[in-house]
Protein backbone atom coordinates (compact mmCIF):
# COMPACT_ATOMS: atom_id res chain seq x y z
CA UNK A 1 0.00 0.00 0.00
CA UNK A 2 1.46 3.32 -1.07
CA UNK A 3 0.77 6.50 0.86
CA UNK A 4 1.16 9.69 -1.02
CA UNK A 5 3.14 12.39 0.79
CA UNK A 6 3.57 15.80 -0.75
CA UNK A 7 6.95 17.47 -1.11
CA UNK A 8 5.95 20.03 1.53
CA UNK A 9 5.06 17.35 4.04
CA UNK A 10 8.29 15.56 3.31
CA UNK A 11 10.29 18.73 3.97
CA UNK A 12 8.45 19.35 7.26
CA UNK A 13 9.19 15.78 8.32
CA UNK A 14 12.85 16.15 7.47
CA UNK A 15 13.13 19.39 9.46
CA UNK A 16 11.45 17.76 12.45
CA UNK A 17 13.79 14.80 12.31
CA UNK A 18 16.81 17.10 12.10
CA UNK A 19 15.66 19.26 15.01
CA UNK A 20 15.10 16.23 17.16
CA UNK A 21 18.45 14.74 16.20
CA UNK A 22 20.25 17.89 17.27
CA UNK A 23 18.32 18.30 20.54
CA UNK A 24 18.90 14.66 21.47
CA UNK A 25 22.54 15.10 20.56
CA UNK A 26 22.73 18.22 22.72
CA UNK A 27 21.27 16.35 25.66
CA UNK A 28 23.64 13.49 25.08
CA UNK A 29 26.67 15.78 24.95
CA UNK A 30 25.53 17.47 28.18
CA UNK A 31 25.08 14.12 29.90
CA UNK A 32 28.39 12.84 28.58
CA UNK A 33 30.19 15.95 29.82
CA UNK A 34 28.62 15.63 33.28
CA UNK A 35 29.58 11.97 33.44
CA UNK A 36 33.16 12.84 32.41
CA UNK A 37 33.24 15.43 35.23
CA UNK A 38 31.91 12.86 37.69
CA UNK A 39 34.62 10.40 36.64
CA UNK A 40 37.29 13.07 37.00
CA UNK A 41 36.01 13.86 40.51
CA UNK A 42 35.93 10.18 41.43
CA UNK A 43 39.53 9.83 40.26
CA UNK A 44 40.52 12.74 42.51
CA UNK A 45 38.75 11.22 45.53
CA UNK A 46 39.50 7.54 45.06
CA UNK A 47 43.26 7.19 45.31
CA UNK A 48 45.01 4.00 44.12
CA UNK A 49 44.79 1.38 46.87
CA UNK A 50 47.27 -1.30 47.97
CA UNK A 51 44.33 -3.41 49.14
CA UNK A 52 40.55 -3.17 49.00
CA UNK A 53 38.05 -4.65 51.43
CA UNK A 54 34.38 -5.32 50.69
CA UNK A 55 32.14 -4.37 53.60
CA UNK A 56 28.89 -6.30 54.19
CA UNK A 57 26.97 -3.00 53.82
CA UNK A 58 28.06 -2.63 50.19
CA UNK A 59 30.94 -0.22 50.82
CA UNK A 60 34.39 -0.75 49.43
CA UNK A 61 37.16 0.29 51.81
CA UNK A 62 40.40 1.19 50.01
CA UNK A 63 43.68 0.97 51.92
CA UNK A 64 45.52 4.02 50.58
CA UNK A 65 49.18 4.80 51.44
CA UNK A 66 49.20 7.52 54.13
CA UNK A 67 51.20 9.86 51.92
CA UNK A 68 48.78 9.51 48.97
CA UNK A 69 45.60 10.52 50.80
CA UNK A 70 43.31 13.29 49.46
CA UNK A 71 44.70 15.86 51.94
CA UNK A 72 47.91 16.11 49.95
CA UNK A 73 46.10 17.49 46.90
CA UNK A 74 45.93 20.73 48.89
CA UNK A 75 48.51 23.24 47.57
CA UNK A 76 49.46 24.23 51.14
CA UNK A 77 50.16 20.62 52.01
CA UNK A 78 52.54 19.84 49.16
CA UNK A 79 55.59 19.98 51.43
CA UNK A 80 53.81 19.00 54.64
CA UNK A 81 55.57 16.63 57.01
CA UNK A 82 52.93 14.29 58.42
CA UNK A 83 52.71 14.30 62.21
CA UNK A 84 52.45 10.65 63.13
CA UNK A 85 51.45 11.50 66.71
CA UNK A 86 50.32 14.55 68.65
CA UNK A 87 52.94 16.20 70.86
CA UNK A 88 50.37 16.41 73.62
CA UNK A 89 47.35 14.47 74.83
CA UNK A 90 44.97 16.16 77.27
CA UNK A 91 44.48 14.29 80.52
CA UNK A 92 41.46 14.21 82.74
CA UNK A 93 39.06 11.77 84.22
CA UNK A 94 38.69 8.65 82.13
CA UNK A 95 35.44 6.80 82.05
CA UNK A 96 34.63 3.26 81.09
CA UNK A 97 33.12 3.18 77.64
CA UNK A 98 31.60 1.31 74.74
CA UNK A 99 29.11 -1.09 76.14
CA UNK A 100 26.83 -0.53 79.09
CA UNK A 101 24.96 -3.79 79.46
CA UNK A 102 27.33 -6.75 79.51
CA UNK A 103 25.95 -9.86 77.90
CA UNK A 104 29.16 -11.06 76.29
CA UNK A 105 28.78 -9.27 72.99
CA UNK A 106 31.79 -7.92 71.14
CA UNK A 107 32.62 -4.24 71.61
CA UNK A 108 31.55 -1.76 69.04
CA UNK A 109 33.46 -1.67 65.81
CA UNK A 110 33.11 -0.78 62.16
CA UNK A 111 31.21 -3.19 59.96
CA UNK A 112 33.96 -3.58 57.34
CA UNK A 113 36.33 -5.08 59.97
CA UNK A 114 34.39 -8.33 59.50
CA UNK A 115 36.13 -8.76 56.14
CA UNK A 116 39.67 -7.57 56.81
CA UNK A 117 42.02 -4.84 57.98
CA UNK A 118 44.30 -2.33 56.31
CA UNK A 119 48.09 -2.87 56.45
CA UNK A 120 50.34 -0.45 58.41
CA UNK A 121 51.21 2.86 56.73
CA UNK A 122 47.90 2.91 54.87
CA UNK A 123 44.60 4.53 55.81
CA UNK A 124 41.15 3.04 55.16
CA UNK A 125 39.11 5.25 52.82
CA UNK A 126 35.45 4.64 51.98
CA UNK A 127 35.40 4.51 48.18
CA UNK A 128 33.06 7.06 46.62
CA UNK A 129 30.69 5.51 44.09
CA UNK A 130 29.40 7.15 40.94
CA UNK A 131 25.90 6.99 42.42
CA UNK A 132 27.08 8.88 45.54
CA UNK A 133 28.18 11.84 43.43
CA UNK A 134 25.12 11.68 41.17
CA UNK A 135 22.80 12.00 44.21
CA UNK A 136 24.33 15.38 45.06
CA UNK A 137 22.74 18.53 43.64
CA UNK A 138 26.03 19.18 41.87
CA UNK A 139 29.57 17.78 41.83
CA UNK A 140 30.70 20.86 43.75
CA UNK A 141 28.13 20.30 46.49
CA UNK A 142 28.94 16.60 46.94
CA UNK A 143 30.27 16.02 50.46
CA UNK A 144 29.30 19.49 51.67
CA UNK A 145 26.66 20.65 54.12
CA UNK A 146 24.09 23.23 53.21
CA UNK A 147 24.87 26.72 54.39
CA UNK A 148 24.46 27.76 57.99
CA UNK A 149 22.98 24.75 59.64
CA UNK A 150 24.94 25.17 62.87
CA UNK A 151 22.58 25.95 65.73
CA UNK A 152 23.05 29.48 66.99
CA UNK A 153 21.28 29.41 70.34
CA UNK A 154 22.34 32.96 71.15
CA UNK A 155 20.61 34.47 68.13
CA UNK A 156 17.76 36.82 68.93
CA UNK A 157 16.33 36.58 65.42
CA UNK A 158 13.70 33.82 65.42
CA UNK A 159 13.92 33.45 61.65
CA UNK A 160 17.58 32.59 62.03
CA UNK A 161 16.72 29.91 64.55
CA UNK A 162 14.27 28.18 62.28
CA UNK A 163 16.32 28.65 59.15
CA UNK A 164 16.40 26.03 56.42
CA UNK A 165 14.40 23.48 58.36
CA UNK A 166 17.34 22.30 60.45
CA UNK A 167 16.30 21.36 63.97
CA UNK A 168 18.51 20.80 66.95
CA UNK A 169 18.47 19.63 70.54
CA UNK A 170 21.79 20.54 72.06
CA UNK A 171 23.82 21.42 75.12
CA UNK A 172 26.44 24.15 74.77
CA UNK A 173 29.00 26.31 76.53
CA UNK A 174 30.40 29.66 75.45
CA UNK A 175 32.25 32.68 76.76
CA UNK A 176 35.63 31.06 77.34
CA UNK A 177 38.57 29.89 75.29
CA UNK A 178 38.30 26.20 74.54
CA UNK A 179 41.04 23.93 73.23
CA UNK A 180 38.97 20.84 72.65
CA UNK A 181 35.95 18.81 73.64
CA UNK A 182 35.03 15.25 74.45
CA UNK A 183 31.85 13.22 74.69
CA UNK A 184 30.62 9.67 74.87
CA UNK A 185 27.69 9.40 72.50
CA UNK A 186 24.96 6.76 72.55
CA UNK A 187 24.63 5.22 69.05
CA UNK A 188 21.27 4.57 67.39
CA UNK A 189 19.87 4.16 63.90
CA UNK A 190 17.16 6.83 63.64
CA UNK A 191 14.53 6.53 60.88
CA UNK A 192 14.70 9.10 58.11
CA UNK A 193 11.44 9.98 56.38
CA UNK A 194 12.78 11.66 53.21
CA UNK A 195 16.04 10.77 51.50
CA UNK A 196 17.06 14.44 51.43
CA UNK A 197 16.86 14.63 55.23
CA UNK A 198 19.41 13.40 57.76
CA UNK A 199 19.77 12.79 61.47
CA UNK A 200 23.04 13.22 63.29
CA UNK A 201 24.53 13.33 66.76
CA UNK A 202 27.80 15.17 67.12
CA UNK A 203 29.95 17.74 68.82
CA UNK A 204 30.73 21.15 67.30
CA UNK A 205 33.92 23.07 68.01
CA UNK A 206 33.19 26.62 66.92
CA UNK A 207 35.25 29.74 66.41
CA UNK A 208 34.19 33.22 65.38
CA UNK A 209 30.69 34.60 65.12
CA UNK A 210 27.88 32.92 63.22
CA UNK A 211 28.61 35.13 60.22
CA UNK A 212 30.22 34.30 56.91
CA UNK A 213 33.52 33.25 58.48
CA UNK A 214 32.35 30.76 61.10
CA UNK A 215 34.99 28.11 61.80
CA UNK A 216 33.70 24.68 62.73
CA UNK A 217 35.11 21.23 63.47
CA UNK A 218 32.48 18.53 63.87
CA UNK A 219 32.47 14.82 64.61
CA UNK A 220 29.91 12.18 65.54
CA UNK A 221 27.57 9.71 63.90
CA UNK A 222 24.97 10.30 61.21
CA UNK A 223 22.34 8.65 59.05
CA UNK A 224 22.23 10.41 55.67
CA UNK A 225 20.64 8.60 52.71
CA UNK A 226 21.70 11.34 50.30
CA UNK A 227 25.35 11.26 51.29
CA UNK A 228 25.80 7.48 51.59
CA UNK A 229 22.90 5.89 49.70
CA UNK A 230 21.57 3.91 52.68
CA UNK A 231 20.17 4.25 56.22
CA UNK A 232 23.22 3.00 58.12
CA UNK A 233 24.68 4.83 61.09
CA UNK A 234 28.12 6.11 60.14
CA UNK A 235 31.07 7.79 61.81
CA UNK A 236 31.66 11.22 60.33
CA UNK A 237 33.65 14.42 60.61
CA UNK A 238 33.10 17.83 59.10
CA UNK A 239 35.03 21.08 58.95
CA UNK A 240 34.58 24.54 57.47
CA UNK A 241 36.36 27.86 57.85
CA UNK A 242 33.73 30.00 56.09
CA UNK A 243 30.33 28.98 57.40
CA UNK A 244 29.82 26.03 55.00
CA UNK A 245 30.45 28.06 51.84
CA UNK A 246 33.62 27.34 49.85
CA UNK A 247 35.76 25.43 52.36
CA UNK A 248 35.35 22.13 54.11
CA UNK A 249 33.54 18.84 53.70
CA UNK A 250 32.51 15.61 55.33
CA UNK A 251 35.18 13.01 56.09
CA UNK A 252 37.98 12.90 53.50
CA UNK A 253 35.82 14.22 50.65
CA UNK A 254 38.09 17.24 50.20
CA UNK A 255 41.66 18.12 51.11
CA UNK A 256 42.01 19.07 54.74
CA UNK A 257 41.97 16.37 57.38
CA UNK A 258 45.14 14.30 57.52
CA UNK A 259 44.49 10.75 58.65
CA UNK A 260 47.20 8.61 60.22
CA UNK A 261 45.13 5.71 61.55
CA UNK A 262 44.83 2.44 59.63
CA UNK A 263 41.87 0.97 61.52
CA UNK A 264 38.99 3.45 61.44
CA UNK A 265 37.40 4.67 58.21
CA UNK A 266 35.58 8.00 58.14
CA UNK A 267 32.09 7.61 56.77
CA UNK A 268 32.05 3.85 57.44
CA UNK A 269 29.16 2.13 59.26
CA UNK A 270 29.31 1.71 63.03
CA UNK A 271 28.11 -1.62 64.33
CA UNK A 272 26.13 -2.62 66.35
CA UNK A 273 23.68 0.17 67.25
CA UNK A 274 21.53 0.39 70.39
CA UNK A 275 18.06 -1.05 70.62
CA UNK A 276 15.04 0.25 72.51
CA UNK A 277 14.94 -1.35 75.96
CA UNK A 278 17.91 -3.50 74.88
CA UNK A 279 21.71 -3.36 74.56
CA UNK A 280 23.17 0.14 74.57
CA UNK A 281 26.30 1.11 72.67
CA UNK A 282 28.26 4.32 72.67
CA UNK A 283 31.33 5.86 71.08
CA UNK A 284 33.80 8.35 72.53
CA UNK A 285 35.10 11.26 70.55
CA UNK A 286 37.84 13.63 71.65
CA UNK A 287 39.00 16.60 69.60
CA UNK A 288 41.82 18.75 70.95
CA UNK A 289 44.35 21.33 69.88
CA UNK A 290 48.00 20.40 70.02
CA UNK A 291 49.47 23.30 72.01
CA UNK A 292 52.83 23.01 70.23
CA UNK A 293 51.96 22.40 66.57
CA UNK A 294 48.53 24.03 66.70
CA UNK A 295 46.82 21.18 64.83
CA UNK A 296 43.38 19.95 65.91
CA UNK A 297 43.55 16.19 66.61
CA UNK A 298 40.74 13.68 66.78
CA UNK A 299 40.56 10.47 68.79
CA UNK A 300 37.90 7.78 68.45
CA UNK A 301 37.39 5.56 71.51
CA UNK A 302 40.36 5.07 73.84
CA UNK A 303 42.63 3.55 71.24
CA UNK A 304 42.36 5.28 67.91
CA UNK A 305 44.01 8.61 67.23
CA UNK A 306 42.58 9.22 63.75
CA UNK A 307 44.55 12.24 62.58
CA UNK A 308 44.35 16.02 62.53
CA UNK A 309 43.14 19.19 60.87
CA UNK A 310 46.17 21.43 60.23
CA UNK A 311 45.88 24.77 61.97
CA UNK A 312 46.29 26.76 58.74
CA UNK A 313 42.87 25.58 57.50
CA UNK A 314 41.26 27.93 60.02
CA UNK A 315 41.21 31.57 61.07
CA UNK A 316 39.60 31.74 64.55
CA UNK A 317 40.29 28.11 65.35
CA UNK A 318 43.97 28.69 64.60
CA UNK A 319 43.86 30.26 68.07
CA UNK A 320 41.05 28.65 70.06
CA UNK A 321 37.34 27.84 70.05
CA UNK A 322 34.79 30.24 71.52
CA UNK A 323 31.86 27.83 71.77
CA UNK A 324 31.31 24.09 72.11
CA UNK A 325 28.03 22.37 71.25
CA UNK A 326 26.96 18.75 71.72
CA UNK A 327 23.73 17.18 70.51
CA UNK A 328 21.46 16.21 67.66
CA UNK A 329 20.43 17.76 64.38
CA UNK A 330 17.84 16.72 61.80
CA UNK A 331 16.59 18.25 58.59
CA UNK A 332 12.86 18.86 58.60
CA UNK A 333 12.02 19.22 54.92
CA UNK A 334 8.31 19.53 55.83
CA UNK A 335 7.01 17.03 53.30
CA UNK A 336 3.38 17.93 52.50
CA UNK A 337 3.65 20.97 54.77
CA UNK A 338 3.65 18.83 57.92
CA UNK A 339 6.59 18.26 60.24
CA UNK A 340 8.77 15.34 59.21
CA UNK A 341 8.73 12.11 61.21
CA UNK A 342 12.49 11.83 60.91
CA UNK A 343 13.84 10.77 64.30
CA UNK A 344 16.58 12.37 66.36
CA UNK A 345 18.68 10.15 68.63
CA UNK A 346 16.60 7.07 69.42
CA UNK A 347 13.38 8.73 68.26
CA UNK A 348 12.25 8.95 71.91
CA UNK A 349 12.07 11.95 74.22
CA UNK A 350 14.52 12.58 77.10
CA UNK A 351 11.89 11.81 79.78
CA UNK A 352 12.11 8.10 78.91
CA UNK A 353 15.70 7.92 80.19
CA UNK A 354 18.34 5.23 79.83
CA UNK A 355 17.84 2.43 77.30
CA UNK A 356 15.08 4.37 75.56
CA UNK A 357 16.23 7.92 74.99
CA UNK A 358 19.64 8.69 73.46
CA UNK A 359 22.33 10.33 75.59
CA UNK A 360 25.64 12.16 75.62
CA UNK A 361 27.61 11.45 78.79
CA UNK A 362 30.85 12.72 80.28
CA UNK A 363 30.84 15.80 78.12
CA UNK A 364 34.07 17.65 78.75
CA UNK A 365 36.06 20.58 77.45
CA UNK A 366 39.80 21.14 77.15
CA UNK A 367 40.57 24.30 79.11
CA UNK A 368 43.26 26.98 78.89
CA UNK A 369 45.73 24.78 80.78
CA UNK A 370 45.02 21.92 78.33
CA UNK A 371 43.20 19.77 80.85
CA UNK A 372 39.97 17.92 80.27
CA UNK A 373 37.31 19.02 82.70
CA UNK A 374 33.55 19.10 83.08
CA UNK A 375 32.18 22.18 81.34
CA UNK A 376 30.96 25.04 83.53
CA UNK A 377 27.63 26.70 82.82
CA UNK A 378 26.10 24.20 80.40
CA UNK A 379 23.04 25.61 78.59
CA UNK A 380 20.50 23.70 76.55
CA UNK A 381 18.68 24.71 73.39
CA UNK A 382 16.03 23.35 71.05
CA UNK A 383 13.86 25.10 68.44
CA UNK A 384 10.68 23.09 69.08
CA UNK A 385 10.76 20.99 72.23
CA UNK A 386 7.52 19.25 71.19
CA UNK A 387 9.39 17.74 68.25
CA UNK A 388 12.87 17.16 69.71
CA UNK A 389 13.88 17.93 73.28
CA UNK A 390 16.92 17.95 75.55
CA UNK A 391 17.37 17.52 79.33
CA UNK A 392 20.73 17.83 81.07
CA UNK A 393 22.01 16.49 84.36
CA UNK A 394 25.06 15.70 86.43
CA UNK A 395 26.14 12.70 88.47
CA UNK A 396 29.21 10.78 89.64
CA UNK A 397 29.32 8.11 86.93
CA UNK A 398 28.28 10.14 83.96
CA UNK A 399 29.67 13.54 84.90
CA UNK A 400 27.91 16.15 82.85
CA UNK A 401 25.35 14.43 80.60
CA UNK A 402 22.10 14.95 78.74
CA UNK A 403 19.32 13.02 77.09
CA UNK A 404 18.11 14.39 73.76
CA UNK A 405 16.00 13.63 70.70
CA UNK A 406 12.49 12.75 69.78
CA UNK A 407 10.19 11.40 67.07
CA UNK A 408 9.59 14.59 65.11
CA UNK A 409 5.99 14.52 63.94
CA UNK A 410 3.52 13.65 66.73
CA UNK A 411 0.22 15.12 68.01
CA UNK A 412 2.14 18.03 69.60
CA UNK A 413 4.43 18.53 66.60
CA UNK A 414 2.57 18.77 63.33
C1 LIG B 1 57.80 23.13 48.48
O2 LIG B 1 59.18 22.94 48.46
C3 LIG B 1 59.79 23.33 47.23
C4 LIG B 1 61.27 22.93 47.26
O5 LIG B 1 61.85 23.23 48.49
C6 LIG B 1 59.59 24.83 47.05
O7 LIG B 1 60.15 25.27 45.82
C8 LIG B 1 58.10 25.14 47.07
O9 LIG B 1 57.88 26.53 47.00
C10 LIG B 1 57.45 24.59 48.31
N11 LIG B 1 56.00 24.75 48.21
C12 LIG B 1 55.25 25.20 49.19
C13 LIG B 1 53.77 25.30 48.91
O14 LIG B 1 55.67 25.51 50.27
C1 LIG C 1 10.09 27.62 64.84
O2 LIG C 1 8.98 27.39 64.04
C3 LIG C 1 7.92 26.69 64.69
C4 LIG C 1 6.83 26.37 63.69
O5 LIG C 1 6.60 27.43 62.84
C6 LIG C 1 7.41 27.52 65.88
O7 LIG C 1 6.39 26.86 66.56
C8 LIG C 1 8.58 27.78 66.84
O9 LIG C 1 8.16 28.61 67.89
C10 LIG C 1 9.75 28.41 66.09
N11 LIG C 1 10.87 28.44 67.02
C12 LIG C 1 11.55 29.55 67.28
C13 LIG C 1 12.63 29.43 68.28
O14 LIG C 1 11.31 30.60 66.71
C1 LIG D 1 15.71 4.12 54.20
O2 LIG D 1 14.58 4.17 55.05
C3 LIG D 1 13.38 4.65 54.42
C4 LIG D 1 12.28 4.70 55.43
O5 LIG D 1 12.71 5.04 56.70
C6 LIG D 1 13.01 3.75 53.27
O7 LIG D 1 11.88 4.27 52.61
C8 LIG D 1 14.17 3.65 52.30
O9 LIG D 1 13.88 2.71 51.30
C10 LIG D 1 15.44 3.22 53.00
N11 LIG D 1 16.54 3.30 52.07
C12 LIG D 1 17.40 2.30 51.87
C13 LIG D 1 18.45 2.53 50.84
O14 LIG D 1 17.34 1.27 52.51
Quote the ligand 1 centre to 308 CA distance (angstroms): 22
Residue nearest to atom 7 of ligand 2 (CA): 384
Nearest ligand (C-alpha, residue 197): 3
Q: Report d(CA 170, CA 360) in Å as an integer.
A: 10
12 within domain boundaries? no
How many H-runs (helices) and E-runs (strands) does the chain carry?
4, 21
Nearest CA-CA partner of 348 in 389, 383, 401: 389
Which stretches within 124-196 are classed as H helix? 130-135, 158-161
Determine the pLDDT at residue 1: 45
* Bridge partner residues of 221 (DSSP): 201, 235
Determine the pLDDT at residue 244: 82
Q: Is 124 helix (H, G, I), strand (E, B) or coil?
A: strand
Kindly name the residue from 189, 193, 218, 325 that is annotated as catalytic.
218
Q: Is 91 a catalytic residue?
A: no
153 within domain boundaries? yes
Indicate whether residue 158 lines ligand 2 (CB < 6 A): yes
Determine the pLDDT at residue 162: 59
Quote the ligand 2 centre to 227 CA distance (angstroms): 28
Range of the domain at 169: 40-405
**Total domain count, the chain:** 1
219 within domain boundaries? yes
75 within domain boundaries? yes
34 within domain boundaries? no
Determine the pLDDT at residue 243: 82
21 within domain boundaries? no
Q: Report d(CA 223, CA 150) in Å as an integer.
A: 17
Indicate whether residue 51 lines ligand 3 (CB < 6 A): no
Which stretches within 170-245 are classed as H helix? 225-228
294 within domain boundaries? yes
- Please give all residues whose beta carbon lies within 6 A of any atom in ligand 1, as ranges: 75, 78-79
Instruction: Mark the ranges of the chain whose per-residue pLDDT is less than 50.
Output: 1-2, 95-105
35 within domain boundaries? no
Residue nearest to atom 8 of ligand 2 (CA): 384
Determine the pLDDT at residue 260: 96
Dmax (CA) of the chain: 96
Amino acid sequence: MAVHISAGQRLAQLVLVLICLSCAEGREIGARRRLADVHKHLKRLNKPAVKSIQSPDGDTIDCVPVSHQPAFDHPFLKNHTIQMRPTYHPEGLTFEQNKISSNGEKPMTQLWHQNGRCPPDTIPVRRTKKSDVLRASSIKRYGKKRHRSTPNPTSVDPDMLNESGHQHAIAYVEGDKYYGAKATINVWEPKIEQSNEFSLSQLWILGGSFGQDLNSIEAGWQVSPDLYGDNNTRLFTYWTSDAYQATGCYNLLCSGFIQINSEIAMGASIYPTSSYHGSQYDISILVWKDPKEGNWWMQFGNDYVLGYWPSFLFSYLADSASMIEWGGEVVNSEPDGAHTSTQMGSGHFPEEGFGKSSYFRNIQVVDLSNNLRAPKGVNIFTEQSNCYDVQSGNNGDWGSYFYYGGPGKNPNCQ
